[in-house]
Amino acid sequence: MEMIIQPDAETASRIAARLVAKLVRAKPDAVLGFATGDTPLLLYKELARLHKAEGLDFSRVTTFNLDEYIGVEPDHPCSYTRFMMENLFNHINVRPEKIHILNGMTKNIPEECARYEKAICDAGGIDLQVVGIGADGHIGFNEPSSSLSSRTRLKTLTDETRRDNARFFANASEVPHDAITMGVGTIMESRRIVFLAFGRDKANIVAKAVEGPITAMVPASALQLHPDVKVFVDEVASCKLERKSYYQWVYDNKPEWEQF
């Protein structure tokens, strides 16, 4: 895992956006995986700015989102479809038919999950997947005890996750109990992973995910087994990392050919 510790979320997100932009310029038909939540918002803002200011072209890009709530209509204010449209897709030139988000209203969940896995495969796999982390260590909606080789499927949310996500809903009881999510195994097949975590509240779980044992109880820890993960954290989210100064030295002394 490559640790990129920056003073604040803005700086870290700008560097992460540069990485995504570099890939899209080198491979205009790249397949990008996106995440929701507050964490990737600055990254999406920067990608929208790069599109507007520098003509970063998403017209041939294909996208897949990590997850969606069950029972939430795509145009519901809290759906992840709506989130992505409002925070990214309406601001770049991605083609609507190239956007893939799981259908939380499906009548046949296993079929919807199999369809999604096949769509990822048919697109040639995900070149770069953006992930955040939940306070309990989830990625996508892979809650603790998720199989580390799981595929896209139904997951029941923990009380902690429902509480954390209640801020997006009118009231806490409206937060769905279930979601469909790419599995940990699905995420692990992405060629590159950009892992973002900002804020003091993420410090403990970032340390567990990056430096702790690989365990299904912290699904994000599976990323330690991935050959190309870049972890972008701000100063406060990095404060529990035991080897923080080492990571910082490595990043500051990166050889030129490895810089982005």
Q: Which residues bind ligand GLP (CB under 6 A)?
A: 35-39, 66-67, 132-134, 140-141, 161, 165
Residue 228 annotated in active site: no
Nearer to ligand GLP, 35 or 126 (CB): 35
Residue 159 annotated in active site: no
Choosing from 46, 117, 143, 164, the catalytic residue is 143
Minimum CB distance to ligand GLP, residue 80 (Å):
8
Minimum CB distance to ligand GLP, residue 54 (Å):
26
Minimum CB distance to ligand GLP, residue 134 (Å):
4
Residue 138 annotated in active site: yes
Distance CA 226, CA 43 (A): 22
Q: Which of 49, 78, 83 is nearest to 173 (CA)?
A: 78
Task: Residue 44: count other Cβ atoms within 10 Å of its Cβ.
Answer: 24
Nearer to ligand GLP, 4 or 66 (CB): 66
Write the burial class of residue 125 (CB in 10 Å: 0-12 exposed, 13-18 middle, 19+ buried): middle
Nearer to ligand GLP, 4 or 196 (CB): 196
Minimum CB distance to ligand GLP, residue 210 (Å):
15
User: At how many degrees (to 10) do helices 41-54 and 80-87 cross?
Assistant: 40
The CA-based dihedral angle spanning residues 99, 13, 46, 131, taken in that order and rounded to the nearest 10 degrees: 10
Residue 177 annotated in active site: no
Choosing from 46, 67, 117, 234, the catalytic residue is 67
What single-letter amino acid sits at 39? T
- Point out the residues that are catalytic: 67, 136, 138, 143
